[in-house]
Amino acid sequence: MVKTRLRWFGYVERRNDDSIVRRVDPMGDSQVTIGRGRPRKTIREAIKKNIEINEFNRNMVYDRTLWCNLIHDADPT
């Protein structure tokens, strides 16, 4: 699950700013949650935690071969 999530994150980050995926991504912050209890964890929070756990830098995404090698060796501990 962690590998798949980080692979998807790398794909999205390397896309152009005018691509559909990049234009839709900021709209996730405008969602209003109504109800009781703890709010659900977003994909953005999960990716941020995975990057912190594996001690990756967000700029590593732009070197595709490095990112691919890192996520395949990632330990989701």
Q: What is the pTM of this model?
A: 0.67
Helices (H), 1-77: 2-14, 20-24, 43-53, 64-72
What pLDDT score was predicted for residue 24? Answer: 66
Q: What is the mean pLDDT of residues 41-50?
A: 86
CA 67 to chain centre: 13
Which residue bears the tokens 């994150």? 9
pLDDT at 11: 83
In one letter, which amino acid is 63? D
What per-residue confidence (pLDDT) applies to 32?
58
HSE, CB side, 13 Å, CA atoms: give it for residue 72.
6
